[in-house]
Amino acid sequence: MRRSGGCIVRLEVTGHAGFARPGEDIVCAGVSALVQAAAHGVVRHAGAKATVHDEPDGAYVLEMLEPNPRAQAVLETTLSGLRAIAAEYPRHLSVLVSTGRRGARAEHNRPRKGA
């Protein structure tokens, strides 16, 4: 996630959780459900202007085009949910929040292979 002026302006999901095989991965399913619900909530219910890119490789990007307080509530709730999943499955999910000033900081670090 990226913040600007205290607001979440971008939500990006990349990579694979690796908890289980594709189609059986509960970490992936939880993250996917949260992120897709956030996109629907931001655009359809909060009426925010945003772009959504759902790539075939599994990457998903939601970018806010203008500030919207209702959309921020949805995005903050999504961030809270992602943090909860990362706390339960720290080896399979990292949550990064970038403020633009000092770059991204890890909320929950996923250990590197071989570490």
Helix (H) or strand (E) holding 4: strand 2-4
Phi/psi at 74 (nearest 5 deg)?
-65, -45
92 is catalytic: no
Q: Measuring CA to CA, which residue among 10, 47, 30 is closest to residue 81? A: 30
94 in a structural domain: yes
For residue 30, what is the domain's CATH number? 3.30.70.1490
114 in a structural domain: no
113 in a structural domain: no
Structural domains of the chain, count: 1
115 in a structural domain: no
- Do residues 85 and 69 touch, judged by C-beta distance below 8 A? no
**Domain range enclosing 59:** 2-108
The pLDDT of residue 99 is 87
Task: Please list the rounded mean pLDDT of every run of 10 residues in the chain (115 residues).
Answer: 94 93 93 96 96 90 96 98 97 91 51 34
Hey, CA dihedral for 14, 73, 4, 94, is it positive or negative? negative
Q: Which of 7, 16, 92, 108 is catalytic?
A: 16
The pLDDT of residue 56 is 86
53 is catalytic: no
